Amino acid sequence: SGRFDLHLPAAQALAGQRVMLLAEQGVGDVVMFASMIPDVIAIASRVTLACEPRLCRLMAQSFPGLDVVAMAPSHFFMPPFDRLLPVGSLGRLFRNRWEEFPGTPYLVPSREASDRWAEILGPKTAQRRIGLSWRGGMAGTRRGDRSMALASLKPLLDLADCEFVSLQYGDVSAEVAAVNAGLARPIRSFEAAAMDDFDDLAGLILELDAVVSVQTALVHLCGSLGVSCIAML
């Protein structure tokens, strides 16, 4: 992204321009920086976001007027543009003072996703419904320092007034089953494919009272949706 930063324009230079936003960061970072997409849309004549496929539906749903294209592993279609900006550099243009942070939710899942999860989850079985994520990062982003064993959360899982839902990315069915064997109220979990797309994941999060998570994209997603999240760092 550094080569783009050398020629980063002032925000006013985007007026009337066709702007291509390149999601060059990890998905959690893109979710965080997405709060500035409305700022770009308000100035430019056309804005296109190139991002990972699993972000496309949520971004298109959240920002009317935004064109979204999926980034394929080797190539993707890039429509004509006047300015190419990395998403991670938008803060230089639009977030230079505290009052420029909106402080409000800015991502909105589809009604279909929200309704589907409301039906799947059904009525609460406890006073509070809490989402959980205990693994974060990849091999090259300190996964070992950002993750823990689900069994380590046993004192939390024994709380009588809480119903827990797994939001963990990937296949963790064996780990959840092992922990559930000793719980009075088992953790609810679903197939990984049901939450891979961020529109589906966002719809599920909005059905929860709060989330407890290690450092991962889920923390940024909760903030973007206005859902309380306790981050375990």
The CA distance from 221 to 232, in Å, is 15
Q: What is the pLDDT of residues 174-223, one digit of tens each?
A: 999 999 998 889 999 999 899 999 999 999 999 999 999 999 999 999 99
pLDDT of residue 59: 98
pLDDT score of 146: 72
Q: Kindly report the average pLDDT of the chain as a whole number.
A: 90
Structure tokens at 107: 């991502």
The answer to whether the beta carbons of residues 23 and 30 sit under 8 Å apart is yes
The answer for residues whose C-beta is within 8 angstroms of residue 102's C-beta and 6 or more apart is 35
**For residue 227, what pLDDT is reported?**
96
For 69-79, b/e burial (b = at least 16 CB within 10 A) is bebeeeeeeee
Q: Which pLDDT value is given to residue 2?
A: 35
Q: How far apart are CA 151 and CA 153, in angstroms?
A: 5
**By the 8 A CB rule, do 178 and 142 touch?**
no
- Please tell me the predicted confidence (pLDDT) of residue 143: 63
Q: What is the pLDDT of residue 178?
A: 94
Percentage helix, strand, coil, to 5, in the chain? Answer: 40, 20, 40
* Per-residue DSSP letter, 192: G
Q: Which pLDDT score, from 0 to 100, does residue 79 have?
A: 83
Pick out the chain residues at pLDDT < 50. Answer: 1-6
Q: Supply the pLDDT for residue 153.
A: 92
Q: Is 92 exposed, middle or buried (0-12, 13-18, 19+ CB in 10 A)?
A: middle
Q: Please give the C-alpha separations between residue 33 and each of 55, 106, 134, 228, in angstroms, as whole numbers.
A: 13, 11, 24, 19
- The pLDDT, as a whole number, for residue 87 is 95
Half-sphere exposure of 117 (CA within 13 A, CB side): 23
The pLDDT score that the predictor gives to residue 11 is: 82
Cβ atoms of 133 and 211 within 8 Å: the answer is: yes
